[in-house]
């Protein structure tokens, strides 16, 4: 096990966050690539914190998964289910969590060797599914996601010790620069930004709709953008973005007629299993942060 990972009952916190006053940024002590990269698309992952795959899914597969999303979003059995998150204003579906348990098609996708091997190469170990979800951004009314690091939340509220996890976002619609596609700061995964404020009980009920605690300040974002710049993940349906859990990213609102939907598969190293939350009164539910660490 790498020296940076906690062992036993050690609770040393190298990524302190949810603080009462602003703290200095932390230069990441952990590696980005823990294993051996054998895929050409991953060659710059250590430097950039992400990799783009132009056609991870074929057009026929895109159509099949898009139809599956429509089926799930309209399933009356999920109405009122906590896994289904709706927009604050329009009440349209914003996200659906734990989709690999609601859909055999998504379960099969999450276990494809081609996909899982990407995570294993980067993380240098067996991996398990920390989280799965679909994000829907309808035309005209789709709300974006403010700048954030996933790891900050997973560390603070889920008890993830180190940023030894990756997310795979697969586009099921064309991602244009104009329809709220994901913006990322290349290289920002090397800098951890402590955030302000204490975590309320059951914070996830509000943060999944609109996050206000666990996000950087405008000064933090300005400094990171000056240092790393901003680029955007765009591409045809079927393209995908694999990115480090500490990469700073966000998306704007979608006021175009063109909806945007993505599948998110989050893989965590089995050697980085969750502990008690570092900055929250209780762990979030398993459909958001799985505590079944069985390898995929």
**Residue-wise pLDDT tens digits, 99-115:** 999 999 999 999 999 99
CB 35 within 8 A of CB 123: yes
pTM to 2 decimal places: 0.92
User: For 130-155, how does the pLDDT look when each residue is reduced to its tens digit (9 = 90+)?
Assistant: 999 998 888 898 888 899 999 999 99
The larger pLDDT score, comparing residue 95 to residue 296, is at: 296
Residue with tokens 């609102």: 253
Residue with tokens 């309209």: 74
SS3 of 43-95:
CCHHHHCEEEECCCCCHHHHHHHHHHHHHHHCCHHHCCCCCEEECCCCCCEEE
Q: According to the model, what pLDDT value does residue 7 have?
A: 37
Residue with tokens 């945007």: 260
Q: According to the model, what pLDDT value does residue 13 have?
A: 96
CB 167 within 8 A of CB 294: no
DSSP 32: S
The larger pLDDT score, comparing residue 6 to residue 73, is at: 73
DSSP for 191-217?
A: EE---BSPPPTTTHHHHTTS--SS---
């Amino acid at each position: 096990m790498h020296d940076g990972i906690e062992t036993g009952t050690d609770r040393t916190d190298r990524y302190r966050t949810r603080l009462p006053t602003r703290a200095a940024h932390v230069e990441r002590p952990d590696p980005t690539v823990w294993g051996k990269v054998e895929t050409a698309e991953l060659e710059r992952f250590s430097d950039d914190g992400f990799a783009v795959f132009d056609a991870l899914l074929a057009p026929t597969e895109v159509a099949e998964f898009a139809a599956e999303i429509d089926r799930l979003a309209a399933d009356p059995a999920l109405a009122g289910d906590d896994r289904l998150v709706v927009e604050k204003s329009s009440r349209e579906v914003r996200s659906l969590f734990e989709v690999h348990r609601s859909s055999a098609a998504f379960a099969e996708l999450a276990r494809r060797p081609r996909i899982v091997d990407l995570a294993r190469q980067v993380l240098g170990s067996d991996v398990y599914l920390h989280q799965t979800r679909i994000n829907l951004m309808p035309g005209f009314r789709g709300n974006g996601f403010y700048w954030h690091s996933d790891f900050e939340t997973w560390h603070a509220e889920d008890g993830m010790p180190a940023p030894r996890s990756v997310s795979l976002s697969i586009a099921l619609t064309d991602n244009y620069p104009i329809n709220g596609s994901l913006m990322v700061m290349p290289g920002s995964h090397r800098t951890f930004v402590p955030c302000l404020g204490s975590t309320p009980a059951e914070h996830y009920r509000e943060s999944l709709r609109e996050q206000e605690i666990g996000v950087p300040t405008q000064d933090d974002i300005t400094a990171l953008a000056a240092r790393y710049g901003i680029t955007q993940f765009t591409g045809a349906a079927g393209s995908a973005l694999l990115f480090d859990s500490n990469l700073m990213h966000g998306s704007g609102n979608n006021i175009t007629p063109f909806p945007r939907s993505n599948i998110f598969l989050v893989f965590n190293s089995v050697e980085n299993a969750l502990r008690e939350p570092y900055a929250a009164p209780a762990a979030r539910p398993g459909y958001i942060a799985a505590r079944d660490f069985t390898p995929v």
